[in-house]
Amino acid sequence: MARKRNIFDDFIELFFPRLCPVCGEKLSPKEECICLKCMIHLPRTLFGMNMGNKMEELFYGSVPIEKAYAYFNYKKGSDYQNIIYRLKYKDEKELGEYMGEHFGAELLNSVPFPKTDFICPIPLHPKKEKKRGYNQSEYIAKGLAKSFHVPVLKDNIKRVKYTISQTHKTRFERWENVQNIFKVINPVIFNDKHIIIVDDVVTTGATLASCATAIKSCCNAKVSLLALGIAKK
């Protein structure tokens, strides 16, 4: 969680109040990244509580996975979309870490999760990461890792193909677009391990499935998939 606040923080906040990215209200000194009210009303999927798991359904018949969960329902135009937007485009990495940590804690509280060895952010293509300056999924992974008490491993999977935006593609085109885009650098590291791959938002699951397939094709590993948001197709 955040470092201890000091008097300087209070002083700075007088002039630059921290605002909740969801409702835009001023955060209280005790609130970290999102106000309590918005955290309570987060449109959780509750996949962890036997409400049916649409995230897991995305991977039926494509790649065998252990577990797949998303934290909340991602709807375009909703105020909650701002969480992903700020994390991805406004350099608000701490928002990803905060959400990841809460997601991890709630998940571990509600479902039995197999012993995990590594948490791996789904890699961006190096060119894209350079342009953005960071990989947003790495920060979600960092937050999850705090709750799971396992290390983040970010350099053993590489994105070897630059893919253009998936937004306007059909479901089939999306699956085709992401074939063979990932490569495992050292398969030995993943052997006999359970790995969680982390993404920000999952839509068709094609990218995550492609990453899981890359791992499964060269290592004897178990793979689970976690995303902060699941978008309606």
- Binding-site ranges for Zn ion (CB under 5 A): 20, 22-23, 35, 38
| Least distance to Zn ion, CB of residue 18, Å | 11
State which residue, 82 or 116, has the beta carbon closest to Zn ion: 82
| Least distance to Zn ion, CB of residue 95, Å | 12
| CB distance 215 to 186 below 8 Å | no
State which residue, 32 or 138, has the beta carbon closest to Zn ion: 32
CA distance 12 to 37: 24
State which residue, 39 or 189, has the beta carbon closest to Zn ion: 39
| Least distance to Zn ion, CB of residue 35, Å | 3
Burial class (CB in 10 A: 0-12, 13-18, 19+), 28: exposed
- Of residues 115, 126, 106, the one with CA closest to residue 228: 106
State which residue, 28 or 180, has the beta carbon closest to Zn ion: 28
| Least distance to Zn ion, CB of residue 26, Å | 9
Packed helices 81-89 and 93-110: angle between N→C axes, nearest 10 degrees = 130
State which residue, 90 or 132, has the beta carbon closest to Zn ion: 90
| Least distance to Zn ion, CB of residue 41, Å | 8
Measure the CA angle with vertex 59, ends 125 and 81; round to 5°: 60
- Of residues 186, 176, 231, the one with CA closest to residue 204: 231
